[in-house]
Structure 1
Amino acid sequence: MIDKTTVDRIIDAANIVDVVGEFVSLKKRGVNYLGNCPFHNEKTPSFTVSPAKGIFKCFGCGKAGNSVSFVMEHEKLEYADALRYLAKKFGIEIKERELSREEVQENNDRESMMVLSAFAQKYFSDMLHSHVDGKTIAMSYFRERGFRDDIIKKFQLGYCLDTRSSFSQYAAKQGYKKEFLVKTGLSVDHNGDLFDRFHGRVMFPIHSISGRVIAFGGRILKNDKKIAKYLNSPESEIYHKSFTLYGIFFAKKSITQENQCFLVEGYTDVLSMHQAGIENVVASSGTSLTTEQIRLIKRFTPNVTVLYDGDAAGIKASLRGIDMILEEGMNVKVVLLPEGEDPDSFAKTHSVTELKEYISGNETDFITFKTRLLLKDTNNDPIKRAALITDVMHSVSVIPDSIVRSVYVRECSRMFDVAEETLLQEVNTQRGKKIGATVAQNSSIVQQAKPEFHTPAIPTFVNNIVCEEQEKELIYLLLKYANVKLFAYTDEAGEEQVMTVGEYIISEIVNDDLELQNLEYRQIFDDFAEIIANHEEPKITRFIHHENLKISELVINIHSGEYTLSNIWKKMGAAEDNEIDFLSAAVPKAVTNYKAKVIAMAINNLSEELRTVTEETFEQTVTRISALNQVRTEISKQLDRPVLN
């Protein structure tokens, strides 16, 4: 881990003009620089770089950020790798904090394992192309599978000779330590002797996102049912299968360009898709999909299409993984290939045009696919049908976007012939178990506001209300004034207490179990809640240099003045240079205004539902509208204006 002092030095040294200027032709325009945006095609320059603020902003596509986020976005690097890139460019030595002797040794060992893996890849490739067994046995297998030379070379395929220790002995002679041969899993220690783990197998190197070889997959060429067909490297300091996707290094550029990622199961699926001309494809390599793998894809696109063969049992086993993709806020489509086909075989017998046409013509959203798949097993059994509905509603409940959830609830109501209100209640029940979990664990630490600052409580049945402008106002206040004292008061014990702007906003939203619907706003809110709950000081730099580029852009836009004061402030006579003087009145009013909007929209939604509700739910809907109207009356008094629908 790069220590904070070094990170600060890198950020201070990384002159935004020098960094961007390496990739964009910039011309000085006043105090700023102007150029054509590298993130979208434009003829008229709208990409502005501010050396004074250390930020960039494109007024065409909206992208914004700092030196680190520019490198991350342009070069498709992780945060730490972008820092290392800048450190090298500006001649800063990286000391990943004061490492202990054990940690230094661990880093050295890790690099040694990386070097050994690269050596092994070259050795296996040489055996495939130069050794007689490689050319006659292993290459014959690849030829039978229909792989061209360019694909074999691109993915650095190889062969481990079918002798017990040829590689291990050769590596030892070249000076590679036994310790690292065993740690990487390339060799197996048996009573002091080393044997090749992958002997007699064709080799598929597994690359990190930056292109370094970190592990291998090997396929046996013998027909021996007692031996596993595929064998992977074991977990090690350099290889964690839950964080790795096969083919991600070769696919990341295409995924970004196509704004879509195809997810398959095996190595040969990836190779055949690439050979057919579709490169935005990765594989989970037979392992259960993990959150870390999903987030790896999400760095390049929010759109995932899963390609399935006709194995129903295999599909059902992977449904939980797709729920995890939904939970990350990604868009999931499913394509079921013809019976007897898998991505490997299907890609070999179809052109790229045919492949794309089949996928676009047969992809289905995941919820619909799951419903149709599981409905076949219910056999009109009402108990099984109810269990299916609950299962599908669980998938809907994990979707972060409230509008998408609402659309699916309506569609499922039609498919299941179940009242939309009933399904919505089930979704809300399941979401209620998760909403605000992180904040709720620490909410007891957040101080309560004194009574006259409290806004009316929102009924618990109100949720999933989108109030974009009001949410932005709250985030604006958090980002600019979280540490500012809002008021001081004396508690019941006679001790003086102070509440900050951040503490007040967090407590008001958490106590009413409300949830911001904009995903970036919600992430910022949750980060602030955790920081405050842990009694830490919120710092704007944490969000300006956030690893989530969307959050970094948002914060920079606010910091650069793109977001201006709302009408709440203007009516109170506030201006950019004196708005802090109005916090004690404006912050509670902003929170109340947010709740007023939530109430107004909730009433409007229920009023619309009232036109179509059944006799059984009519009374409940009317009761809810009445309760909301009472809260609306209280809020109107606080705002000194009517709250309109």
Structure 2
Amino acid sequence: MIDKTTVDRIIDAANIVEVVGEFVSLKKRGVNYLGCCPFHNEKTPSFTVSGAKGIFKCFGCGKAGNAVTFVMEHEKLEYVDALRFLAKKYGIEIKERELSQQEVQQNNDRESMMVLSAFAQKYFTDTLFNHVDGKTIGMSYFRERGFRDDIIKKFQLGYCLDTRSAFSQYAGKQGYKKDFLIKTGLSVEHNEALFDRFHGRVMFPIHSISGRVIGFGGRTLKTDKKVAKYLNSPESEIYHKSFTLYGIFFAKKSITQENRCYLVEGYTDVLSMHQAGIENVVASSGTSLTTEQIRLIKRFTTNVTVLYDGDAAGIKASLRGIDMILEEGLNVKVVLLPDGEDPDSFAKSHSVTELKQYIADNEADFISFKTKLLLKDADNDPIKRAGLITDVMHSISVIPDTIIRSVYIRECSKMFEVAEETLIQEMSSLRSKKIGAAVTQNTTILQQSKPELHTPAIPSFVNNVFCEEQEKEIIYFLLKYANVKLFTYTDDDGYEHEINVGQYIISEIANDELEFLNLEYRQIFDDFAELIANNQEPNITHFIHHENLKISELVINLQSEEYVLSNIWKKFGQSESEGIEFLSEAVPKAITSYKAKVIALAIKNLMEELKNITEENFEEMTRRITALNMVRTEISKQLDRPVLC
């Protein structure tokens, strides 16, 4: 990875007019530059480059971005390679940082460890196929497990001789340094002598996403229970187990093609699935699933299916890892294999057609699976039942997509026989904790200092209402004016406080536990909330160069196009040119307008539901409509307009 300081230098140096000008003939047009888009065929130029903003935008095909994303798109490069392209153009040396002599040596050491690991893999594989012990002991194990030669060769499996130091001695004779043998974990030093860490074990090389060997897993063939069944390489400069998934190099193409990743537990599970003809499979290799591993999968698909054997204790232990997958926005399904089966044994005893059919017939969404699993334990115990409801609501609360959360809550309401409103309140409470510090602090300040700016609260039962135009306007104010002072006030102790636009918007939206349904708008809002909660100042550059390219493009579009504010501002004869005076009116009214739209749509939805409502729910439904009408009246007063029926 290129360190942030170097990335910032590259971005600062990259003049977008110069970068684009290498590939597109540009002509100055006012303050901007115009040319024919390189991404689609056009005769009339619609491709605009803004040197001042550092962005490009094609008004023909819609592509937009910065200097880095232009190079990525035009040259078909990954992000880091695009940075290297620009660094070379502007003579910036990539050193991960301004490296010290020690750090330079560390990088050299890392490459030496990679070379040694590749050498070790070839040695172990050669031993498996050609050494008498490798063939009679190691190969016999793989044969007994039913693995074909093509799978053994594909995954570069091997065998480490059971002679304590055969590999270490051979590597030393080939010129490999003792220091690197120890650092990679291939050898262990004792009384100044080197011994093979994996002696007497069959070997499973662990590959990086680019296919380089970075570590090993070794399985003992002994029955001694005092000896660990599996032994992995220790953490090193090249191997970090929390960032690694076994089989990802061999699976990534298939994952992309199938748009799904199967997640299993062990090495042999992966091998057997490949042998059965299913290649879009990876393993966490017995370690607890990490956020980094999940994001590795997310680079290729948003759909994950977890394959479980029938071990109930093991399933419950892994539930937290599934919550982490949900939190990253992936769609999770679960397949429970028959009793006594695991992915390894089941794949071996079934054809690829049978395997795929079983998965299709038995796939269940994770929330339903978890709910049914925990309900079995709860029986009729009300305390246990309450605990499992909270547990399931926690899983639902981490899901980023509002619509998906709403669907799950409706289903769980039926399964638990608990009012949907109660579950919504529980989930909202859990979600609000994410940005609770910023919300609580800012809301208290606003209520104490400028109560007239505090917009009407939305009832907690309102959810899943889509108001994209109003969401966009709020995001526009947030991006453009987040750090602009909105007002100041003096507290009871005589201290003066300054409240900016960003703090005000986050407080007003989050305090009502409202969420934008547009995922990009929501991500921008959440990023702002996190930055403010950590006392950091949000910067538009952060979003222009956001790691989520959709957000980068959205922000650039808002910057490059002339955004037209709602007509409500014209009513007051105000414009953005009036600066702080305009903002003190416009920002609260933008939020109030958003809430007005939410309320109107919520009432409309309830009126539709009322047509088919049962008698027992009629009273509750009318109560909600009455509550919403009261809020709508209050909002209309703030907007200086009559209630529209």
Name the aligned partner's letter for residue 282 of structure 2: V
More off after superposition, 436-445 vs 403-412: 436-445
In 1, Cα distance between the equivalents of 2:117 and 2:416? Answer: 53
Name the aligned partner's letter for residue 141 of structure 1: Y
Distance 1:66 1:167, change over 3 A: farther
* 1:549-568 mapped onto 2 (5 Å cutoff): 549-561=549-561, 565-568=565-568
TM-score, structure 1 normalization: 0.84
- Please give the secondary structure, in 2, of the residue aligned with 1:164: coil
In 1, Cα distance between the equivalents of 2:349 and 2:86? Answer: 46
Give deviations 1:135-190, integer Å, cap 9, x for gaps. Answer: 34323333333334443333222221221011222223334333332232211122
Distance 1:149 1:82, change over 3 A: farther
Distance 1:429 1:540, change over 3 A: closer
Distance 1:276 1:461, change over 3 A: same
Q: Which residue of 2 aligns with 1:313?
A: 313
Give deviations 1:465-518, integer Å, cap 9, x for gaps. Answer: 433332222112212232344456677777876544323323333444544444
- Please give the secondary structure, in 2, of the residue aligned with 1:335: strand
Q: Which residue of 2 aligns with 1:456?
A: 455
In 1, Cα distance between the equivalents of 2:496 and 2:391? Answer: 51
Q: Which residue of 2 aligns with 1:167?
A: 167
Name the aligned partner's letter for residue 335 of structure 1: V
- In the TM superposition, residue 612 of structure 1 has moved relative to its aligned partner by 4.8
Q: Which residue of 2 aligns with 1:40?
A: none
Check whether the contact 2:460–2:513 (CA below 8 A) recurs between aligned residues: no
Check whether the contact 2:442–2:504 (CA below 8 A) recurs between aligned residues: no
Q: Which residue of 1 aligns with 2:237?
A: 237
* 1:511-522 mapped onto 2 (5 Å cutoff): 511-522=511-522
Name the aligned partner's letter for residue 637 of structure 1: K
TM-score, structure 2 normalization: 0.84
Distance 1:385 1:580, change over 3 A: closer
Count residues in correspondence: 636
In 2, Cα distance between the equivalents of 1:436 and 1:416? Answer: 29
* 1:149-168 mapped onto 2 (5 Å cutoff): 149-168=149-168
Distance 1:436 1:75, change over 3 A: farther
Check whether the contact 2:184–2:215 (CA below 8 A) recurs between aligned residues: yes
- Please give the secondary structure, in 1, of the residue aligned with 2:377: coil
More off after superposition, 327-336 vs 93-102: 93-102
- Please give the secondary structure, in 1, of the residue aligned with 2:206: strand
* 1:521-532 mapped onto 2 (5 Å cutoff): 521-532=521-532
In 2, Cα distance between the equivalents of 1:581 and 1:487? Answer: 10
- Please give the secondary structure, in 2, of the residue aligned with 1:297: helix
- Please give the secondary structure, in 2, of the residue aligned with 1:263: strand
- In the TM superposition, residue 264 of structure 1 has moved relative to its aligned partner by 0.8
Distance 1:332 1:561, change over 3 A: same
Check whether the contact 1:2–1:97 (CA below 8 A) recurs between aligned residues: yes
* 1:411-560 mapped onto 2 (5 Å cutoff): 411-432=411-432, 434-437=433-436, 439-440=438-439, 443=442, 451=450, 454-458=453-457, 461=460, 464-466=463-465, 467-487=467-487, 499-533=499-533, 536-560=536-560
- Please give the secondary structure, in 2, of the residue aligned with 1:376: helix
More off after superposition, 168-177 vs 52-61: 52-61
- In the TM superposition, residue 118 of structure 1 has moved relative to its aligned partner by 2.7
Name the aligned partner's letter for residue 165 of structure 1: S
Check whether the contact 1:264–1:284 (CA below 8 A) recurs between aligned residues: yes
**Identity among equivalent pairs (%):** 76
In 2, Cα distance between the equivalents of 1:206 and 1:77? Answer: 26
Q: Which residue of 1 aligns with 2:285?
A: 285
Q: Which residue of 2 aligns with 1:31?
A: 34
More off after superposition, 516-525 vs 191-200: 516-525
In 2, Cα distance between the equivalents of 1:501 and 1:48? Answer: 34
In 1, Cα distance between the equivalents of 2:154 and 2:563? Answer: 47
Give deviations 1:114-152, integer Å, cap 9, x for gaps. Answer: 333233223223323343333343233333333344433
Q: Any gaps of 5 or more consecutive residues in structure 1?
A: 38-42
More off after superposition, 354-363 vs 438-447: 438-447
- In the TM superposition, residue 195 of structure 1 has moved relative to its aligned partner by 0.9
Give deviations 1:603-624, integer Å, cap 9, x for gaps. Answer: 5566677775886x88777666
Give deviations 1:348-372, integer Å, cap 9, x for gaps. Answer: 3444443333322221111222233
Check whether the contact 1:600–1:643 (CA below 8 A) recurs between aligned residues: no
Distance 1:77 1:174, change over 3 A: farther
Distance 1:203 1:330, change over 3 A: same
Distance 1:144 1:359, change over 3 A: same
Q: Which residue of 1 aligns with 2:217?
A: 217
Check whether the contact 2:439–2:507 (CA below 8 A) recurs between aligned residues: no
- Please give the secondary structure, in 1, of the residue aligned with 2:215: strand
Q: Which residue of 2 aligns with 1:114?
A: 114
Distance 1:587 1:562, change over 3 A: same
Distance 1:535 1:303, change over 3 A: same
- Please give the secondary structure, in 1, of the residue aligned with 2:289: coil
In 2, Cα distance between the equivalents of 1:535 and 1:455? Answer: 22
Give deviations 1:283-339, integer Å, cap 9, x for gaps. Answer: 111112222222222232221111122223322222222122222222111112233
In 2, Cα distance between the equivalents of 1:351 and 1:59? Answer: 52
Check whether the contact 1:34–1:45 (CA below 8 A) recurs between aligned residues: no
